[in-house]
Amino acid sequence: MERSWRKPKRLVPDFNKTDITVCPATWFFDQMAFIGDEIVGCFVIPTEKGIVMIDCMNPEQRCIDIIEKGFADLGLDINDLSTIIISHGHGDHFGMAGSFLLLNFQAGGKIYP
């Protein structure tokens, strides 16, 4: 392996950054879309029984705003959110689950940690 005087760049998010770029809500496949910014995000999958969201970003108002705008930009109704799946126990994955459960969930919505 060749040695270099350069320090390797670590590709880690800068959680102290204040000018965070919001990514446009984007359909990846026929039924899966991404909503988020350059640091955190979530995926949404519309189904016959409601919308499934995988992860739900940081516990910040900024993230609620990004998710609500993302749903609107994708032509989805946030009130159709029926299920949230949390991929793992980091705050940037489960952070807004409680807010959506209390504020925006349809009756009978579920969160799966």
Q: The domain that contains 61 carries what CATH number?
A: 3.60.15.10
Q: What does the alpha-carbon distance between residue 23 and residue 36 come to, in Å, rounded to a whole number?
A: 6
| Domains identified in the chain, total number | 1
| Cα–Cα distance, 102 to 91 (Å, whole number) | 18
In a domain, 36, yes or no: yes
Residue 54 is assigned to a structural domain of this protein: yes
CA max distance for the chain: 60
Look at residue 102 and tell me if it is in a domain.
yes
Domain span at 64 = 22-112
Q: Are 36 and 69 in contact (CB under 8 A)?
A: no
| 80 lies in some domain | yes
- Model confidence over 70-111: pLDDT tens digits? 999 999 998 888 888 887 665 665 566 666 655 555 556 666
pLDDT at 94: 59
Say if residue 67's pLDDT is above 80: yes
**Quick one: average pLDDT of 6-32?**
79
Structural domain includes residue 106 = yes
Using an 8 Å Cβ cutoff, are 70 and 25 in contact? yes
Q: Is residue 4 part of a domain?
A: no
In a domain, 93, yes or no: yes
Residue 55 placed within a domain: yes
Predicted TM-score of the model (pTM): 0.74
pLDDT at 24 over 90: yes
